[in-house]
Amino acid sequence: MDFIQEIARALAEATDLEAEEIAQSIEIPKADMGDYAFPCFRLAKTMRKAPPLIAKEIAEKIKKPEFLSDIKVVNAYINFYVDKTVFVKSVLSEVCEKGGKYINSEVGKGKTIVIDYSSPNIAKPFHIGHLRSTAIGNSLNKIYKALGYNVVGINHLGDWGTQFGKLIVAYKKWGNKEAVERDDIKELSKIYVKFHEEAEKDPSLDDEARNWLVKMQEGDEEALSLWKWFCDISMKEFNRIYDRLGITFDSYAGESFYNDKMAAVVDELREKDLLTESRGAQIVDLEKYNMPPCLILRSDGGTLYPTRDISAAIYRKNTYDFDKCIYVTALDQNLHFAQWFKVIELMGYDWAKDLVHTPFGLVSLGDGKLSTRKGHVVLMEDILNMSVEKTKNIIEEKNPDLENKEKVAEDVGIGAIIFDDLFNSRIKNVVFDFDRMLNFDGETGPYAQYTHARACSIIARSGAKKSEKDVDYSLLSDEASFNVCRVIKEFPEKLAEAADKNEPYIVARQIIELCKAFNKFYNENNIMQSEEATKKARLSIVFAVRDILKSGLDLLGLKAPEQM
Q: DSSP letters of 27-58? A: B---GGG-SEEEE-GGGHHHHTS-HHHHHHHH
The DSSP symbol for 121 reads B
Catalytic residue from among 124, 156, 357, 390 = 124
Contact present, 140 and 504 (Cβ < 8 Å): yes
As a residue count, the chain comes to 564
Catalytic annotation on 336?
Answer: no
DSSP codes, 142-179:
HHHHHTT-EEEEE---B-SSHHHHHHHHHHHHH--HHH
Interstrand relation of 112-116 and 324-330 (parallel, antiparallel or unpaired):
parallel
Angle between helices 445-462 and 532-556 (to 10 degrees): 150
Please name the helix (run of DSSP H) or strand (run of DSSP E) that holds residue 193, with its range, or none: helix 177-201
Buried b (16+ CB within 10 A) or exposed e, 139-163: bbbbbbbbbebbbbbbbbbbbbbeb
| DSSP strands (E only) in 128-280 | 150-154, 276-278
CA 527 vs. chain centroid, Å, equals 36
- The identity of residue 74, as a single letter, is V
Are 151 and 113 contacting, i.e. CB atoms less than 8 angstroms apart? yes
**DSSP secondary structure of 281-347:** EEEE--GGGTS--EEEE-TTS-B-HHHHHHHHHHHHHHHH--SEEEEEEEGGGHHHHHHHHHHHHHT
CB neighbourhood size of 113 (10 A): 25
Q: Which of 61, 98, 111, 130 is catalytic?
A: 130
* Contact call for residues 22 and 12 (beta carbons, < 8 A): yes
CA angle 22, 490, 42 (to 5 degrees): 25
Catalytic residue among 84, 127, 317, 489: 127
The whole-angstrom separation of Cα 58 and Cα 81 is: 16
Is 124 tagged catalytic? yes
Task: Count how many Cα atoms sit within 13 Å of the Cα of residue 473 in the half-sphere of its side chain.
Answer: 19
Q: Is the dihedral of CA 211, 213, 218, 219 positive or negative?
A: positive
56 catalytic residue (yes or no): no
What is d(CA 367, CA 364) in angstroms, rounded to the nearest whole number?
7
Helix then strand count (H, E) for the chain reads 20, 12
Q: Are 15 and 59 in contact (CB under 8 A)?
A: no
The C-alpha atoms of residue 507 and residue 44 are separated, in whole angstroms, by 35
| Residues labelled as active-site residues | 124, 127, 130
